[in-house]
Amino acid sequence: MSTRQDGRSGEDQLIDRFFRPIAKHPGALGLVDDAAFLTPPAGSDLVLTVDAVVVGVHFLADDPADSVAKKALRVNLSDLAAKGAKPLGALLSLSMPENTGDDWLAAFARGLGEDCAAFDCPLLGGDMTGTPGLLTISITAIGAVPTGRMVRRKGAQPGDVLVITGTIGDAVLGLKLRREPNNPAFARLNRTARALLADRYLLPQPRVALARSLHEHATAAVDISDGLAGDVGKLAAASGVAARIEAKRIPFSAPARTALSEEPNLVETMLGGGDDYEIAATVPENRLKALQAAGTESGIDVTAIGRIEAGEGVTVLGLDGQPLALKQASFSHF
Amino acid sequence: MSTRQDGRSGEDQLIDRFFRPIAKHPGALGLVDDAAFLTPPAGSDLVLTVDAVVVGVHFLADDPADSVAKKALRVNLSDLAAKGAKPLGALLSLSMPENTGDDWLAAFARGLGEDCAAFDCPLLGGDMTGTPGLLTISITAIGAVPTGRMVRRKGAQPGDVLVITGTIGDAVLGLKLRREPNNPAFARLNRTARALLADRYLLPQPRVALARSLHEHATAAVDISDGLAGDVGKLAAASGVAARIEAKRIPFSAPARTALSEEPNLVETMLGGGDDYEIAATVPENRLKALQAAGTESGIDVTAIGRIEAGEGVTVLGLDGQPLALKQASFSHF
């Protein structure tokens, strides 16, 4: 509780100082209404998603505040992108310990504002509360997709090609590198390579630019937040099909390949570790080129890594053509 | 992290067991997509709001799990109602400590399901994460209001009547009673009276049924979450007007009047303490009867407690006609 001479609460003053400047969209109503409004675009369905990030679970206590804000937004933008939806706006729910400094908040708001602008996803509103617990950031993102065109996890058909954007496993290696900088697997990585991996953990690259092509071409899609094998497994289960992934076709970054050559067992971590925020999608064979061309235009590699088949489950075929036995299919909090 | 034989994560299993059964709306997509869809009603603007509740801050650790869920939803429904919006759906973001038992989750989901049904606000999706911190529940609610008819805090005009729904101060007395059951102010309250106050803290009554009448008649509105004086102050500030409240016209419940007669200073707590989740609205004089009649139809008392005037700030006139000096206008976390 706090008493202020002007009758305005501490929350209002924090909102004034840090969040009002980045919430200029008319739907934010200047953040004075404790609610936002949105005129839905004609001919659209809305896609809604929420994800929370907690210090020590989804980000580290010493991560820069601006990148924490960006990650909290981007994990949601990644969900929208996988649905083929264009962002319309976001709501922030911020639970802050009392010792959260103004410097932290200023950097957090700056980062959030930068990404809201970069991804054309205006901050529409939110809620700020004190907590005796841990810093917890929950962002809700709203997107639009042409009516009836939302891309779901359900819809993959036997014969479809399984594709993946970008590269897999960098983020989990980046986290491992933060925790075990002297792990022999990383011995041959130079500073640039280490920075690339670290950055992939800190700052996911949501594939927003591919959303439109996904709702034009994909039969199903999922964003890889909990690990390639596990998330493709969810897509396969939702679609009632099997997915076969060829390990040799999975795109790895140069630093990841270097680490893998030192420690081949890392492949399991990389396929199950999560935080990639790439998109796995299924496309009919005759749409593959169009999707890849759209990716190229947006600077996003789209790589075919396998096939959808009748049946169930995910099989990852190793270099020898034999299925890998993955001990842990995906990340889970419980 | 957890490994399961069937490759499905612990989160998925918890969602299966507890939340899938209460998320039957088509927009929830069976909770398999990690995103929801919503076809916006034609001719509507959307209203979006988010509020987090944290154990020890917004509810007590020994509050029943079903009422915690209901409160978390209802504080958001209250925001929608104040905007004149009808609920369309909600998203749940749940951060749970590892020791949260299945019994708690089952009761939480049951309570949430009951209220989603009671208020016609389907659970559309959400996110569940483990936390080494405290139980934190953030709910996003989406509502619809006819295009251009959202009721804002801005819009009150000099001459408008200031009205309030229900009674004020019960919730903060209910909390005080939980904490200080032997406080002499409560000495004359019998069990029924005590239960009424306790219940008002545990379970806000969002005035959803009044939403339509508000967008038909009100010039401005705000829900009273942080205290009558403070929240009316926010409405006045947003509207660029002054509000004059007559203390003798503020509706208090019978138990509250009993407590007040023992301890008159409680009035300050009651006007500044928050958690009422009633709606303060401003209406032109010639719309007052229509709004009150609509309230009566919905079983909601709508009481005129003051006036909007030119100027700024909130004045609460005491029984002697002199302004009360309120030390704390409203609750703030910082």
pLDDT tens, residue by residue, B184-196: 999 999 999 999 9
Residues of A in contact with B277 (CB under 8 A): none
Q: Where are the alpha helices (DSSP H) in B49-138?
A: 65-82, 102-118
Is A226 in the B-facing interface, judged by CB distances under 8 Å?
yes
pLDDT exceeds 50 at position A95: yes
Question: How far is the C-alpha of A18 from the C-alpha of A123, rounded, in Å?
Answer: 12
Lowest mean pLDDT among A150-164, A281-295, A310-324, B281-295: A310-324
The tens digit of pLDDT for each residue in B28-77 reads 999 999 899 999 999 999 999 999 999 998 999 999 999 999 999 999 99
Tokens of A284: 């009919």
- Cβ atoms of A316 and A247 within 8 Å: the answer is yes
Q: Confidence class of residue B319 from pLDDT cuts 50, 70 and 90?
A: confident
Q: In terms of CA atoms, which chain B residue is nearest residue A92?
A: B50
End of a domain among A115, A146, A177? A146
- Cβ atoms of B277 and B75 within 8 Å: the answer is yes
Lowest mean pLDDT among A65-79, A85-99, A319-333: A319-333
- Cβ atoms of A65 and A104 within 8 Å: the answer is yes
Q: Is residue A286 one of the residues assigned to a domain?
A: yes
Mutate to test the interface with B, among A6, A8, A9, A326 (most CBs of B within 10 A): A9
Q: Is residue B327 one of the residues assigned to a domain?
A: no
Which of residues 61 through 120 in chain A touch B, CB cutoff 8 A? 79-80, 82-83, 89, 91-93, 95, 98
* C-alpha distances in Å from residue A275, one per residue of A140, A172, B313: 18, 7, 49
pLDDT exceeds 50 at position A5: no
Total residue count of chain A as it appears in this document: 334
Q: Is residue A326 one of the residues assigned to a domain?
A: no
Which of residues 254 through 293 in chain B touch A, CB cutoff 8 A? none
Same domain, A77 and A114: yes
pLDDT exceeds 60 at position B95: yes
Q: Is residue B211 one of the residues assigned to a domain?
A: yes
End of a domain among B80, B112, B146? B146
Which of residues 186 through 225 in chain B touch A, CB cutoff 8 A? 222-223
Question: How far is the C-alpha of B36 from the C-alpha of A225, rounded, in Å?
Answer: 17
Tokens of A203: 């700052």
Average pLDDT over chain A, rounded to an integer: 92
> Where in B258-300 does DSSP place strands (E)?
279-283
CB pair distance less than 8 Å for A9 and B331: yes
Same domain, A166 and A301: yes
Burial of B304 (0-12, 13-18, 19+ CB in 10 A): middle
Question: How far is the C-alpha of A247 from the C-alpha of A249, rounded, in Å?
Answer: 5
Which of residues 16 through 45 in chain B touch A, CB cutoff 8 A? 29, 32-40, 44-45
The tens digit of pLDDT for each residue in A244-293 reads 999 999 999 999 999 999 999 999 899 988 899 999 999 999 999 999 99
Is A48 in the B-facing interface, judged by CB distances under 8 Å?
yes
Q: In terms of CA atoms, which chain B residue is nearest residue A15?
A: B334
* C-alpha distances in Å from residue A32, one per residue of A7, B143, B181: 15, 18, 37
Residues of A in contact with B128 (CB under 8 A): 333
Nearest by CB to A334, which of B10, B35, B58?
A: B10
Please give the pLDDT value at position B8: 53
The tens digit of pLDDT for each residue in A109-165 reads 999 999 999 999 999 999 999 999 999 999 999 999 999 999 999 999 999 999 999
pLDDT exceeds 80 at position A98: yes
Nearest of B155, B152, B160 to residue B304 by alpha carbon: B160
Helix (H) or strand (E) holding B255: helix B254-262
- Cβ atoms of A165 and A278 within 8 Å: the answer is yes
Proportion of chain B above pLDDT 90, given as a percent: 86
Same domain, B304 and B188: yes
* C-alpha distances in Å from residue B312, one per residue of A7, A184, B17, B236, B239: 12, 67, 53, 7, 9
Residues of B in contact with A233 (CB under 8 A): 7
10 Å Cβ neighbour count for A248? 11
Nearest of A283, A130, A308, A119 to residue A205 by alpha carbon: A119
Lowest mean pLDDT among B249-263, B271-285, B320-334: B320-334
Q: Where are the alpha helices (DSSP H) in A243-325?
A: 254-262, 266-272, 288-297
Q: Confidence class of residue B328 from pLDDT cuts 50, 70 and 90?
A: low
Average pLDDT over chain B, rounded to an integer: 92
The 8-class DSSP code of residue B220 comes to E
Cα distance from B35 to chain A (closest Cα, Å)? 5
Q: Is residue B325 one of the residues assigned to a domain?
A: no
Interface ipTM: 0.92
Residues of B in contact with A332 (CB under 8 A): 1-2, 4, 9-12
A168 or A324, greater pLDDT: A168
pLDDT exceeds 90 at position A330: no
How many domains does one find in chain A?
2
Side by side, the strands of the sheet bearing B44-54 are: A36-38, B44-54, B136-146, B86-96, B123-130
Which of residues 116 through 145 in chain A touch B, CB cutoff 8 A? 124-134, 136, 138, 140, 142, 145
Q: Confidence class of residue A3 from pLDDT cuts 50, 70 and 90?
A: very low
Mean local confidence (pLDDT), A64-68: 97
pLDDT exceeds 50 at position B122: yes
Please give the pLDDT value at position A8: 53
Same domain, B123 and B182: no
Question: How far is the C-alpha of A280 from the C-alpha of A245, rounded, in Å?
Answer: 11
Question: How far is the C-alpha of B30 from the C-alpha of A54, rounded, in Å?
Answer: 26
Per DSSP, the three-state class of A10 is helix
**Residue B261 identity (one-letter amino acid):** S
The tens digit of pLDDT for each residue in B217-243 reads 999 999 999 899 999 999 999 999 999
Q: Is residue A27 one of the residues assigned to a domain?
A: yes
Mean local confidence (pLDDT), B97-115: 95
Please give the pLDDT value at position A4: 35
Q: In terms of CA atoms, which chain A residue is nearest residue B76?
A: A35
CB pair distance less than 8 Å for A129 and B58: yes
pLDDT exceeds 80 at position B10: no
Is A251 in the B-facing interface, judged by CB distances under 8 Å?
no
Same domain, B77 and B113: yes
- Cβ atoms of A67 and A199 within 8 Å: the answer is no
DSSP notation for A218-236: -SEEEE-SS-HHHHHHHHH
Q: How many CB pairs (< 8 A) connect A and B? A: 269
Please give the pLDDT value at position A254: 97
Mutual angle of helices B191-202 and B170-179, in 10-degree steps: 110
CB pair distance less than 8 Å for A138 and B238: no
- CATH, residue A106: 3.30.1330.10
Question: How far is the C-alpha of A174 from the C-alpha of A170, rounded, in Å?
Answer: 6
Q: Taking the model in full, what pTM does it have?
A: 0.93
Cα distance from B254 to chain A (closest Cα, Å)? 28
Residue B264 belongs to domain spanning: 161-317
* C-alpha distances in Å from residue B184, one per residue of B89, B159, B259: 43, 41, 9
Q: Is residue A323 one of the residues assigned to a domain?
A: no
Backbone φ, ψ for residue A166 (5° rounding): 55, -140
Q: Is residue B4 one of the residues assigned to a domain?
A: no
10 Å Cβ neighbour count for A261? 11
Please give the pLDDT value at position A1: 30
Residues of B in contact with A32 (CB under 8 A): 153-154, 234, 237-238
Same domain, B18 and B135: yes
Q: Confidence class of residue A324 from pLDDT cuts 50, 70 and 90?
A: confident
Same domain, B171 and B310: yes
Mean local confidence (pLDDT), B104-128: 97
pLDDT exceeds 90 at position A318: no
Same domain, B41 and B182: no
Tokens of A187: 């011995």
CB pair distance less than 8 Å for A83 and B35: yes
* C-alpha distances in Å from residue A209, one per residue of A24, A120, A213: 23, 11, 8
CB pair distance less than 8 Å for A49 and B125: yes
Could you tell me whether strands B242-246 and B313-317 are parallel, antiparallel, or unpaired per DSSP bridges?
Answer: parallel
* C-alpha distances in Å from residue A67, one per residue of A199, A276, B104, B131: 10, 16, 34, 20
- Cβ atoms of A47 and A149 within 8 Å: the answer is no
Question: How far is the C-alpha of B294 from the C-alpha of B282, rounded, in Å?
Answer: 15
Backbone φ, ψ for residue B89 (5° rounding): 170, 175
Same domain, B107 and B200: no
Please give the pLDDT value at position B3: 32
Nearest of A138, A132, A114, A141 to residue A57 by alpha carbon: A138
- CATH, residue A239: 3.90.650.10
Q: Where are the alpha helices (DSSP H) in A7-124?
A: 10-14, 65-82, 102-118
Same domain, A299 and A169: yes
Proportion of chain A above pLDDT 90, given as a percent: 86
Please give the pLDDT value at position A334: 52
Q: In terms of CA atoms, which chain A residue is nearest residue B152?
A: A33
Same domain, A173 and A311: yes
Backbone φ, ψ for residue A108 (5° rounding): -60, -50
CA atoms within 13 A on the CB side of A138: 31
Mutate to test the interface with B, among A34, A139, A150 (most CBs of B within 10 A): A34
Please give the pLDDT value at position A321: 82
Please give the pLDDT value at position A319: 74
Same domain, B225 and B255: yes
Mean local confidence (pLDDT), B110-125: 97
- Cβ atoms of A209 and A119 within 8 Å: the answer is no
